[in-house]
């Protein structure tokens, strides 16, 4: 299973609409035969890749998979059928499939006379798809919101002027974060004030390409704005409503989105219960004046828990998880998000 988890996180396996999955096949005497990973929506599932490499020798063997084999026909055929047809005797998996469409594979395999062992190294297997798992259980993308605030609680300088708050290590972290998501959401206010390009730079661009840039708001964006360049796809959504926006992004296959917006849009997302993790960056700088992180508004209770603290040079990252407290969330906590 360790090897299967490693395969699932192959650098060529994209984070995206589909989970990352790894599979190892052993022959009937328990010797290693083959392995495979899922390379993204539309490509064969990990089990099928590994079974193809194994050929007839898989008969009587064991399949070790990080995720419960699917039993549905989606873009590709059911893995349960592939395993049964190959004559696999035993299936060992980590995480149960949390989707309505694909779950139930274990029962189907058992009904076909295959021995099934579930929950092996489940925490490690879940960790691979931590945000995806939350997303599919809610039918909306997992949302990480990033907020950088000065020591005196400001997000910009006098009159809202853009100020570089964080240092190089925190900037790098921000790009690592962008590289892990499929969409970066901002508002027209931020585009007009800061002219961000919202692309992954400082770290390798993910295998699925630059994340989708999403701009919420009605104000018009000048043609020379960096967000209009062709370095990444861009979507302009006039509607501000976070729930509608996230439903749209989920339809487009986004399972993890990053909110890099100003105070107004951030507050709207928080009020709508649409933030799962807040990446609060306490920047080691004192501004003395300027707008605060959140505009005044109705009382906002955000019960959650700090799951990570990290010094990033002069700045401090505080990862605050709200994922387990949403009434729509799965009943069991998500330990994997704790060790992110
Ligand atoms: C597996 N093995 O390697 C993966 C699984 O319609 P598709 O073909 O893109 O299927 C996507 C769904 O199948 C996905 O939401 C998840 O439930 C499951 N993914 N299952 O047995 C795999 N990637
Ligand atoms: Zn499958």
* CA nearest neighbour of 186 among 269, 126, 76, 84: 269
- Ligand 1 close to Cβ of residue 4 (< 6 A): no
Number of other CB atoms surrounding residue 164 within 10 Å: 10
pLDDT of 217 > 50? The answer is yes
At residue 337, the pLDDT reads 54
- Ligand 1 close to Cβ of residue 67 (< 6 A): yes
Region 4-9: mean pLDDT is 98
- 25, 42, 45, best to mutate for ligand 1 pocket (most atoms within 8 Å of CB): 45
* CA nearest neighbour of 66 among 137, 18, 114: 18
The residue among 326 and 230 whose pLDDT is bigger is: 230
Nearest residue by C-alpha to atom 14 in ligand 1 = 18
Nearest residue by C-alpha to atom 3 in ligand 1 = 45
Rounded to the nearest angstrom, the distance between the alpha carbon of 52 and the centre of ligand 1 is 17
Q: How far apart are CA 52 and CA 71, in angstroms?
A: 18
Regarding the domain delimited by 2-128, which CATH topology (the fold level of the hierarchy) does it fall under?
Cytidine Deaminase; domain 2 (3.40.140)
Quick check: is 260 catalytic? no
Rounded to the nearest angstrom, the distance between the alpha carbon of 18 and the centre of ligand 1 is 6
Instruction: Pinpoint the alpha helices (H) of the chain.
Output: 2-8, 46-54, 79-85, 105-111, 122-128, 130-138, 168-179, 188-194, 242-251, 263-271, 335-338
pLDDT band at 152 (very low <50, low <70, confident <90, very high): very high
Q: How far apart are CA 66 and CA 72, in angstroms?
A: 17
pLDDT of 160 > 90? The answer is no
79-83, 112-116, 176-180, 217-221: segment of lowest average pLDDT: 217-221
- Ligand 1 close to Cβ of residue 47 (< 6 A): yes
Region 133-147: mean pLDDT is 97
Q: Where are the chain's structural domains?
A: 2-128, 133-337
- Ligand 1 close to Cβ of residue 206 (< 6 A): no
27-31, 102-106, 292-296: segment of lowest average pLDDT: 292-296
Q: What is the model's pTM?
A: 0.93
Rounded to the nearest angstrom, the distance between the alpha carbon of 78 and the centre of ligand 2 is 5
Q: Which of 47, 127, 131, 260 is catalytic?
A: 47
pLDDT band at 324 (very low <50, low <70, confident <90, very high): low
Backbone φ, ψ for residue 51 (5° rounding):
-65, -40
Region 105-133: mean pLDDT is 97
Ligand 1 atom with the smallest distance to the CA of 136 is 15
Region 241-251: mean pLDDT is 97
Q: How far apart are CA 206 and CA 11, in angstroms?
A: 8
Nearest ligand atom owner, CA of 37? 1
Q: How far apart are CA 140 and CA 82, in angstroms?
A: 30
Ligand 1 atom with the smallest distance to the CA of 38 is 3
pLDDT band at 296 (very low <50, low <70, confident <90, very high): confident
Number of other CB atoms surrounding residue 300 within 10 Å: 9
Nearest ligand atom owner, CA of 36? 1
pLDDT of 198 > 60? The answer is yes
Pairing mode, strands 277-282 and 315-321: antiparallel
DSSP per residue over 80-142, as a string? HHHHHHTT--EEEEEEPP--TTT--HHHHHHHTT-EEE--TTHHHHHHHTHHHHHHHHHTS-E
pLDDT of 260 > 60? The answer is yes
Ligand 1 atom with the smallest distance to the CA of 102 is 17
Q: How far apart are CA 63 and CA 165, in angstroms?
A: 50
pLDDT band at 64 (very low <50, low <70, confident <90, very high): very high
Rounded to the nearest angstrom, the distance between the alpha carbon of 31 and the centre of ligand 2 is 23
Q: How far apart are CA 19 and CA 8, in angstroms?
A: 9
pLDDT band at 159 (very low <50, low <70, confident <90, very high): confident
At residue 289, the pLDDT reads 95
At residue 293, the pLDDT reads 84
CATH number at 133-337? 3.40.430.10
Region 169-195: mean pLDDT is 96
Region 190-219: mean pLDDT is 95
pLDDT > 70: percent of the chain: 95
Mean pLDDT of the chain: 93
pLDDT of 333 > 80? The answer is no
């Amino acid at each position: 299973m360790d090897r299967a988890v490693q395969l699932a996180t192959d650098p060529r396996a994209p984070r995206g609409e589909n989970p990352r999955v790894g599979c190892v096949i052993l022959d009937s005497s328990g010797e290693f035969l083959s392995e495979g990973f899922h390379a993204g929506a539309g490509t064969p599932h990990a089990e099928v890749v590994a079974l193809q490499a194994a050929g007839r020798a898989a008969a009587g063997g064991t399949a070790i998979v990080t995720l419960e084999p699917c039993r549905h026909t989606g873009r590709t055929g059911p893995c349960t059928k592939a395993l049964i047809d190959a004559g696999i005797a035993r299936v060992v998996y980590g995480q149960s499939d949390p989707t309505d469409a694909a779950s139930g594979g274990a029962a189907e395999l058992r009904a076909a006379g295959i021995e099934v062992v579930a929950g092996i190294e489940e925490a490690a297997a879940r960790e691979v798809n931590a945000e995806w798992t939350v997303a599919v259980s809610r039918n909306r993308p997992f949302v990480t919101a990033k907020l950088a605030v000065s020591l005196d609680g400001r997000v910009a300088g006098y009159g809202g002027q853009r100020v570089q708050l964080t240092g190089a290590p925190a900037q790098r972290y921000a790009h690592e974060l962008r590289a892990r998501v499929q969409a970066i959401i901002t508002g027209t206010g931020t585009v007009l004030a800061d002219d961000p390009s919202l692309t992954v730079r400082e770290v390798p661009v993910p295998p699925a390409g630059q994340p989708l840039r999403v701009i919420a708001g009605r104000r018009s964006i000048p043609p020379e704005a960096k967000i209009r360049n062709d370095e990444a796809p861009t979507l302009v959504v006039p509607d501000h409503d976070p729930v509608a926006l996230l439903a749209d992004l989920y339809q487009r296959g986004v399972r993890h989105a990053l909110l890099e917006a100003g105070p107004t849009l951030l507050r709207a997302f928080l009020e709508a219960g649409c933030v799962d993790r807040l990446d609060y960056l306490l920047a080691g700088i004192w501004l003395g004046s300027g707008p605060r992180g959140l505009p005044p508004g109705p009382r906002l209770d955000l019960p959650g828990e700090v799951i990570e603290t990290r010094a990033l040079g002069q700045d401090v990252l505080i990862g605050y998880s709200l994922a387990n407290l949403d009434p729509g969330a799965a009943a069991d906590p998500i330990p994997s998000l704790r060790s992110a």
